[in-house]
Amino acid sequence: MEFIRGIDMIKEDFELPDRLVTARFNTLFTKSAHRWYIKLRQAHGHQSWTWWKTQIINKWDNDTWRFGVETAFESAKFNADKDKDLPWFFQQKDRLTALYPDMSEFMIHRKILRQCGGDLEHAVKSRTTEQSSAEDIINILEEVTTRTKIGSSRVNLKTRFNTPWKDSVDKNPKENSNNKYKSADTVRKCHICQSTTHLANTSPKRGKINEIDLENEPDVEKDNIIEDNSDDNSSIFSESSKDIENINATFDIMESYSHLPQLSNGQLDLSKVQDAQLMKTKPNRGKGYTAGNSCITEVVIDNKPTKLLLDPGAFCSCVGKYFLKTCVPNFEDQLLPFDGIKFNSASNPVKALGIFETNFILPHINGNLRITVEFVVMENCSSTHFILGNDYLIMHGIYLHNNKDRYFTIGDKKHQKFAFLPFKRQIKVNKVSPINIELEKFKSEQLRKAEISLHLTDKQENELSSLFYEHKGGFASEKEPLGAIIGHEVDIILNV
């Protein structure tokens, strides 16, 4: 890419025609590139610079070349004792620019600094910003490595600060290493039974190590049992190894439970309770279900984009038969045999047809990831996407982040964040009926002070208002204060 950009700049600055540019290829290309040029030149004759540019890209911009550049970038760790700041930095930058031409300069600088190691990376990052140029980072890198010695090899630091000068100078190191075993005061013995006839690796009492007894037995009986079985060392070793495995397994279980206090201890103190932290605004009461979101992302299967649901509650990865047929029409020819385990979706049983193995690609700007998954094909599954179950979430270390920004990561690549598709809620809209202006006016004027029971539904209240409106002649108004109802007069006497 640098070669092509250089020729483009020279061609533009000097306004050179294509014939003058391509005429210099015979001297510019060397070794295998020169042989490649001669072969194409004889086969196609004179061609434009655009044609040659396409041929160069097709020749060197392939998977093998990209793999070599990626390997060279990852293996080029910065060492202040061997590497110089300026050439190393720009060499790494040229590699990333060739691999990812659309990557921002800030991300290129961050990926380069990761090759410097933890201490040096932190020291440079704390002195730079997102707007820092490559020259600023190189100056800071040179200053840190020169003045603080961060980034040097650890062996040199230990010998420089921790090893005395006199002890580090040996006239004959081989002679010193051999003499320490020739000392007359040194006696090799077994550290288990303190015997000089054998060492610890061949000791007959080795089975006593890691031996656990629930009951306290006399030491004499233990010694007699060990002496009787001293001839059969293999059985002792096998039993002791089983004991060690059991101890390790028990320790692993206890260690895993120690992080889950609700499982390791049945009697918990509930006097100290704190409210959980909210990461977003809580909906109104009765609307908590509206805060949910989906865990569906977009993947590529057989060069076709499709949807994938990350479901931690699913026991295994599965896909519906009819949806799979839309993605892979001939999937039935690729099914693997099934063991016959029964599956249930909620309370309804589902029928499994077989195992469908496929590769799906998670696209990302910093590098695509491919995962091989075995989906269980379900007969009566009505889902419209692939379901990645808890089996592959555990195997690949897929972690779902539900912080302010929702995303998921895979394995140790915490910086590579994959996004979920936006969730579209379906809002149900009831049928809209035309508004009766006269009825609304009657309700606001005549029934304004009416007390209607709160136990009536909206539909019942509207029907009651419509009934009053049909017989509105019986209600009082400004023109008829007593209403239009004709009846008997009633005298009301209040006794005080």
Q: Is the dihedral of CA 17, 23, 27, 32 positive or negative?
A: positive
Distance in angstroms (rounded) separating the CA atoms of residues 65 and 62: 5
What is the pLDDT, as a whole number, of residue 28? Answer: 80
Quick check: is 148 in a domain?
A: yes
Domain assignment present for residue 79? The answer is yes
Task: Output helix, strand, coil percentages for the chain, rounded to the nearest 5.
Answer: 45, 15, 40
Residue 222 has pLDDT above 50, yes or no: no
Give the residue, 282 or 373, on which the prediction is more confident.
Answer: 373
What tens digit of pLDDT does each residue of 45-104 get?
Answer: 888 888 888 888 777 777 777 788 888 888 888 888 888 888 899 888 888 887 887 888
pLDDT recorded at residue 285:
81
Instruction: State pLDDT tens for residues 377-415.
Output: 888 777 888 988 888 888 888 888 887 778 889 888 878
Is residue 327 domain-shared with residue 407, that is, in the same domain? Answer: yes
The answer to whether residues 49 and 80 belong to one domain is no
pLDDT at 482 over 70: no
Type and span of the H or E element at 193: none
Asked if 328 contacts 302 with a C-beta cutoff of 8 angstroms, the reply is yes
- pLDDT band of 172, cuts 50, 70, 90: low
177 pLDDT exceeds 60?
A: no
Backbone phi, psi, residue 308, to 5°: -135, 125
Give the integer Cα–Cα distance in Å for 456 and 452: 8
* 72 and 57 housed in the same domain: no
Per-residue pLDDT at 258: 52
410 and 299: one domain?
yes
Q: How far apart are CA 463 and CA 461, in angstroms?
A: 5
Does 70 share its domain with 36?
A: no
Q: What angle do CA 103, 105, 111 make, to 5 degrees?
A: 75
Alpha helices (runs of H) in 292-400, residue ranges in sequence order: 321-327, 390-395
Same domain, 408 and 455: no
Domain boundary among 96, 125, 156: 156
Tell me, yes or no, whether 135 and 72 share the same domain. Answer: yes
The token duo for 328 is 């892979």
47 and 74 belong to one structural domain: no
Q: Which of 130, 156, 182 is the last residue of a domain?
A: 156
| 57 and 76 assigned to the same domain | no
Please tell me the total count of domains within the chain.
4
DSSP assignment, residue 280?
S
Asked if residue 486 is part of any domain, the answer here is no
* Residue 71 and residue 46 in one domain: no
Q: Are residues 83 and 40 part of one domain?
A: no
Length of the chain: 496
Does 198 map to a domain? Answer: no
pLDDT at 216 over 50: no
CATH code of the domain in which 300 resides: 2.40.70.10
Tokens 């610890």 — which residue? 200
Domain extent for 17: 2-61
Rounded mean pLDDT, 443-469: 80
Average pLDDT over residues 141-145: 86
pLDDT cut 90: percent of the chain above it: 0
Determine, yes or no, domain membership for 380. Answer: yes
Token representation of residue 68: 């070599």
Domain boundary among 388, 419, 450: 419
**pLDDT value of residue 241:** 56
Least confident residue range of 110-114, 192-196, 471-475: 471-475
Q: Would residue 359 count as lying in a domain?
A: yes
Average pLDDT, the chain: 74
Q: In what order do the strands lie in the sheet with 413-419?
A: 398-402, 406-410, 413-419
Q: Which two tokens stand for residue 281?
A: 């605004």
The answer on pLDDT for 266 being more than 60 is no
Residue 237 lies in a domain: no
75 and 24 within one domain: no
Candidate from 157-171, 188-202, 359-373, 454-468 with smallest mean pLDDT: 157-171
Answer yes or no: is pLDDT of 126 > 80. Answer: yes
38: pLDDT strictly greater than 50:
yes
pLDDT of residue 209: 46
Residue 431 lies in a domain: no
